[in-house]
Structure 1
Amino acid sequence: MRDMAGNNEHPILEGILGEARAEAERIRSEAAQKAAGLKESTDSQCRRILAEARERAESQKQTMLRSEETSVAAELRRIELRAREKLNEELLAKLRDRLLKLQQSPAYREICRDLIVEAAAGIGTPKVLVCVSSPESLGSRGKSGIDRGLLSEAQELLARKGLQVELELAEDESLRDPGIVCRDPAGRLVFDNRFEARMRRMRRELVRIIAEEIGTEDGKAT
């Protein structure tokens, strides 16, 4: 009986073991397939993540480069503006010095006559006072060269323009700068035609002319 049992158990055991080995092989095969699929999926995901990281890095690099270029351009613009402002001030200062020196020029008297005509026409009243700072200017000639003879010349020029204006000298000790200041008798209208005042009024135009002469981009006043 024992031998029969032993003989009967051997084929059964072998069958069970065979099935176990087959199942194990199937499991190993499925596991290998899953591992291969997982590896491929992981590799693909890693490649995708790496590609996205590279794209982000390139995008960030380009953004940084654009930002840096913008910053450099802005700084260059600021440097250019400062240089232009400095140049404008230097040229305007030279122009101011030249204008001040005109007071010692023989042409100063004629310049004052034309400034009186401009100021009187601008005020537009029948009588205009021409302010002078030097007491002796109220006499025959005076140091400034502004005298009644000069006023007569100015009145004649005004008449040629169709303007009948009576000009009269008026002392004003507050006036020291070269040029002319005119006012109406009531003192309500004042036309400051001194060189400094004219430069202030003409500053924008002067800066534009400077810009055109030196070839800068624009002539904006500073």
Structure 2
Amino acid sequence: MRDNSADTGLPILDGILGEAGAEAERIRSEAEQKAEELKQSTENQCRRILEEARQRAETQRRSVLKAGETAVAAELRRIELRARERLNEELLEQLRKRLLQLEQSPGYRDICRELIAEAAEGIGTAKVLVCVPSSGKGRIDRELLAEAQELLSRRGLKTALELQEDDTATGPGIVCRDPSGRMVFDNRFEARMRRQRRELVRIIAGEIEGQDGKAS
């Protein structure tokens, strides 16, 4: 007698196996799709990270270049300023030496007359002492004071001028003070240069710029 149980079970088994195979294929297909999606997502993320890194690198490069250009410009400016300062000092020193040479020039007496009048006017007292070192009495004398006093009179000032020996008042130019000694007007050449240094530097700068303009 034939056993039909095996026959009846085979279609069921075949169906189960078929379903299992289909499920396995679906799972494999989904896995491949997810793997592809993951791969694509990973590639996109990598590209985004690389692009962001490239942008940051470019930003840093530009920042470094800008900082470098700024540093170079600042250094060039410092070099230019130092060169101008050296040139200013050289020109001022040349001017100082030329002014000192005026003491031996024929026009020195006329210069002193103007300096005395200017100092006396600046002090503004009725009597002004003109300080002269013992070595300078030959050039600064009462006759010169009378000329300076006449110059003040023409300016509407009544000022009495008097010689005062003072060996600290050396150097080309004039030192004047009031009788009390509280007000002193140093009108020597070097003192005038110190007072007018900013204006002299401005004049020098203007001359240099003018020469640069002609050269260009």
Determine if the TM-score, normalized by the shorter chain, exceeds 0.5. yes
Deviations along 1:73-113, one digit per CA (max 9) or x if unpaired, are: 11111111111111110010000000011111111111111
In structure 2, what is the Cα distance between the partners aligned to 1:71 and 1:173? 53
Q: Does 2:169 correspond to 1:175?
A: yes
Task: Indicate yes or no: 2:151 matched with 1:151.
Answer: no
| Structure 2 counterpart of 1:196 | 190
Q: Which residue of 1 aligns with 2:38?
A: 38
2-structure distance, mates of 1:23, 1:45: 32
Which residue is 2:209 aligned to?
215
Paired letter, 1:57: A
The reply to whether residue 6 of structure 1 matches residue 11 of structure 2 is: no
Secondary structure of 1:215's aligned partner: helix
Measure how far apart 1:135 and its partner are: 5.7
SS in 1 for 2:174: strand
Task: Kindly provide the CA deviation profile for residues 140-159 of structure 1, in whole angstroms up to 9, marking residues without a partner as x.
Answer: xx1xx111111111011100
State the match for 1:132 in structure 2.
132
Letter in 2 for 1:47: R
The amino acid across from 1:76 in the alignment is L
Letter in 2 for 1:200: R
Q: How much identity, in percent, do the aligned residues show?
A: 70
Q: Does 1:185 align with 2:174?
A: no
Which residue in the other structure is 1:94 paired with?
94
CA distance in 2, matches of 1:135, 1:97: 20
TM-score by length of 2: 0.93
How much has 1:2 moved relative to structure 2? 6.7
| Runs (5+) with no aligned partner, structure 1 | 217-222
Corresponding position of 1:162: 156
Aligned length, in residue pairs? 210
Task: Give the Cα–Cα distance (whole angstroms) in 1 for the partners of residues 2 and 150 of structure 2.
Answer: 158
2:193 alignment partner AA: M
TM-score, length of structure 1 as denominator length: 0.91
Q: What is aligned with 1:220?
A: none
Tell me: CA distance 1:215–1:39, structure 2 relative to 1, closer, same or farther (3 Å). same
Q: Which residue of 2 aligns with 1:29?
A: 29
**Which residues in structure 2 correspond to 1:53-132 (within 5 Å)?**
53-132=53-132
CA contact (8 A) 1:128 1:165 kept: yes
Give distance in 1, aligned partners of 2:168 and 2:187. Answer: 15
